[in-house]
Structure 1
């Protein structure tokens, strides 16, 4: 049911977001405790502010009331994905080139399943990530179909 809900909500959200020159980053439909949450993450080149989140929440809420894809009570939350936004679409990976990323893989690559470093490149089939092992820099090539999850990663350089 969760996948069907997120797909339906995505279909309803995209036209609203395109009209406002915003981008759909992700949709989550999760149960926490006894409450259900529908979380819609939006972004734009310059980021999003609270007014834009409120406007999307209002318009999407009206559309959800009209279509009614969720039969029980839930909380609708519309927000920015934050500094560590998930990378889901191929366009996200292209935009993330040169940035610090955190990647988890389905199976080990060079004995590891978690990589954090600078995304050097993405050719549509594999990612090249520059990681630091102790004090040495090393390039790791990760096949795109082996990526379980990926996000931008905040790094602190002191």
Structure 2
């Protein structure tokens, strides 16, 4: 079993409840101290208190098992708005929000996320033809065609 897999199991075990989930974990070897970066999310959002709790419990278990060198940096946080959506659960959490979706071929579309299915998402996009009023159109985007999706933040 790889170190990454062991670390994923440790983090998952110490999540506060079933509404929380692991988004990403990676070990960055830079400088004199390796950095373990853990991103967690929740269906209702992640509090600083929950990040601190996970950090403390994960750190204690890593040290008890001697999995990382004596000096390392553990960072537990939630993904920022600029972090690409990675799982169906993250998409579901963002239903009703505007997304910028980049296809594997580089084409980009923006639209409001309506639904998340088992193999695709449904967006409402506005199409504008010259001289006509913008029309709304529902389109399905298969997960297998998505390179990256980011939530668009509106400050209106």
TM-score bin, normalised by smaller chain? 0.7 to 0.9
- The structure with the greater share of residues assigned to helix is 1
Q: Deviations over 1:59-116 (max 9, x none)?
A: 10111223344458532101122344542222222332221223222224xxx1x333
SS of corresponding position for 1:116: strand
Match of 1:129 in 2: 123
Q: Deviations over 1:107-157 (max 9, x none)?
A: 24xxx1x33321122222222222345673444432111222223331233
Partners of 1:65 and 1:54 in 2: how far apart? Answer: 16
What TM-score results when the alignment is normalised by the length of structure 1?
0.73
Is the CA contact (8 Å cut-off) linking 1:84 and 1:154 kept in structure 2? no
Match of 1:144 in 2: 143
Partners of 2:59 and 2:99 in 1: how far apart? Answer: 33
Match of 1:154 in 2: 153
Which segment is superposed worse, 143-152 or 32-41? 32-41
The count of aligned residue pairs is 150
Gap change, CA 1:30 and 1:104, over 3 Å in 2: farther
Q: How do 1:104-123 residues align onto structure 2 when only pairs under 5 Å count?
A: 104-108=102-106, 112=107, 114-123=108-117
Give the CA RMSD over aligned residues: 3.0
Is it true that 1:90 corresponds to 2:88 in the alignment?
yes
Gap change, CA 1:26 and 1:35, over 3 Å in 2: same
Partners of 1:39 and 1:117 in 2: how far apart? Answer: 31
| Runs of at least 5 residues in structure 2 that lack an aligned partner in the other structure | none
Is it true that 1:9 corresponds to 2:14 in the alignment?
no
**Residue number among 29, 35, 38 corresponding to 1:37 in the alignment:** 35
Partners of 1:151 and 1:16 in 2: how far apart? Answer: 27
Q: For the pair shown, which has the larger CA radius of gyration, 1 or 2?
A: 2
SS of corresponding position for 1:115: strand
Partners of 1:33 and 1:117 in 2: how far apart? Answer: 41
Is the CA contact (8 Å cut-off) linking 1:29 and 1:36 kept in structure 2? yes
Which segment is superposed worse, 18-27 or 51-60? 18-27
